[in-house]
Structure 1
Amino acid sequence: MDLRPEHTSVLAKLLPYPAAVQTDCYDLVAANRTYRYLFADLDAYPVEERNCAWLMFTEPSWRNSLVDEDSVLREITAKLRTRQPEHRDDPRWNALITRLRQESPDFVRHWESYEIVGDRTQLRRYRSPRVGALDVQFQSLWMDRVRGERIIVMTPTDVATAQRLERLDSLVGAAPAWTSRGDSADGSAAGA
């Protein structure tokens, strides 16, 4: 997926709320700085591991951020299962499912339940290592369904979460407004 200027503009304008551009199989293409540092430094991971499903199932710092861990992991799996038929011949998609099945018994358990679910706005609760408890409305908005481009946005459900997100953004404010998969490890190609 090509990162377009309008994508990065939206990411920057949504600060201090966490937002990221994803593919339909959860590859994280770009993220604003609050999303980048929400769980751990996203840019510290190799590009091939910057996949939200992969990180939630296999990376302890991401997984430990989930207050309702089983519910979120079940939903991610159900969304992947829902979209599987349209990606049956996609090697990228099949490689992700294979890797998750090999590395995560929890993924296998949820995958074998055959649950499917559509996109919807929902309450998510996280524990950020930098700012603590965050209650957000998690939204996945399709920018171009055919190309598999979507933006995910987390908006606060209460004043305390809004303040914590503002604090997170101020803590990492020296970082660029957004980074992408194409950036160097230090984020030097990221937007200002």
Structure 2
Amino acid sequence: MDHGPVPVTAPSARRTELAAFLRSRRDRVTPADVGMPPGLRRRTPGLRREEVALLSGIGVTWYTWLEQGRPINVSGRVLDAIADTLQLSDPERDHLYHLADVPIAAVATSAARITPTVQAILDSMSGFPAAALNSRWDLLGWNTPCAALWPRLTAPDSSRNVLWELFTTPECCRRFVNRDTGLPHMVASFRAAFGQHLEDPSWTELIRRLAAASPEFARLWATHDVATPPSAVMTYRHAAIGDLSFSLTRLDLTATPETLITVWTPADEESKHRMDWLLAHPGAPSVDHTH
């Protein structure tokens, strides 16, 4: 007797949908889209499974199992790599994490990005340093004045995390003149934001690494102080032109929760003149390495 279709369990249905979604996204990305030669004798214009695996830095067998809907676990980091290779949009990324049954909060920090519109806003502030930061103090975007002021933060080998660079890189920390008051406030705001990410491994791993690498961070973290992100005056020391003082202004991006645009506005005329000089002389050494 035919009792109708066999019910599909939720995990099984999710894996089936994940497999179909990955195949559909793979089919729409051509080799040319990822900088690969087209090759010969392709049955479809999209990428092959082994090409996705190679570009994502994962095993071919493992990726094949994903597309076959097999019951395997997947990490947020691997999902990020696959999403990058398949050039997924932000809604598609969220859908991918949901189908893989990985909490979005666990990958939100590593997948954070800003829109071209936000980058255009940063670039429009051509006279003032400006940057987009999330609540974990990750640097998501910046303009040319910001790169001139903080070259270490925007360097190709930078971690792109403000706390990590300030606490572990002397070259970066020496520029921050009033860091004795600024750093405790930054850590306190980081602690407050952490309360919303207690189960996010990207946060707990960053905290562990910071505490292991910096006794100063470990001491400040142990105080359990909490605060809102600082909006105060920061003084920056440049080897060629001396001290520059900036008033920090933070602007919420309502479309991107936990992301702020920070603007460093010169606090006085002398700082404004020195910032103008710095922008006109981008090659000037910014750190006095004799100290």
1:104-157 deviations in Å (ceiling 9; x for gaps): 000011111111111342111111235321111012222138632111110011
Distance change >3 Å, CA 96–CA 145, structure 1 → 2: farther
User: Is contact 2:191-2:221 (8 Å) kept?
Assistant: yes
CA distance in 1, matches of 2:137, 2:185: 13
Distance change >3 Å, CA 146–CA 87, structure 1 → 2: farther
1:20-41 deviations in Å (ceiling 9; x for gaps): 1111101111111111121334
Identity between Structure 1 and Structure 2 (%): 28
Unaligned runs of 5+ in 2: 1-111, 284-291
Match of 1:76 among 186, 189, 204: 186
Secondary structure of 2:219's aligned partner = helix
Distance change >3 Å, CA 100–CA 120, structure 1 → 2: closer
TM-score in terms of structure 2 length: 0.55
User: Is contact 1:39-1:61 (8 Å) kept?
Assistant: no
Output the aligned Cα RMSD: 1.8
Matches within 5 A, 1:1-192: 1-46=112-157, 49-144=159-254, 147-172=257-282
Q: Which stretch of the first structure deviates more once superposed, 102-111 or 117-126?
A: 117-126
User: Is contact 2:129-2:145 (8 Å) kept?
Assistant: yes
2:116 counterpart letter in structure 1: P
Secondary structure of 2:149's aligned partner = coil
User: Is contact 2:127-2:276 (8 Å) kept?
Assistant: yes
CA distance in 2, matches of 1:80, 1:87: 11
CA distance in 2, matches of 1:18, 1:131: 17
User: Is contact 1:141-1:151 (8 Å) kept?
Assistant: yes
Aligned residues: 172
User: Is contact 2:234-2:248 (8 Å) kept?
Assistant: yes
User: Is contact 2:131-2:139 (8 Å) kept?
Assistant: yes
Greater strand content: 1
2:114 counterpart letter in structure 1: L
1:127 counterpart letter in structure 2: R
TM-score in terms of structure 1 length: 0.82
Greater helix content: 2
Q: Which has the higher contact order (CA 8 A, sep 6+)?
A: 1
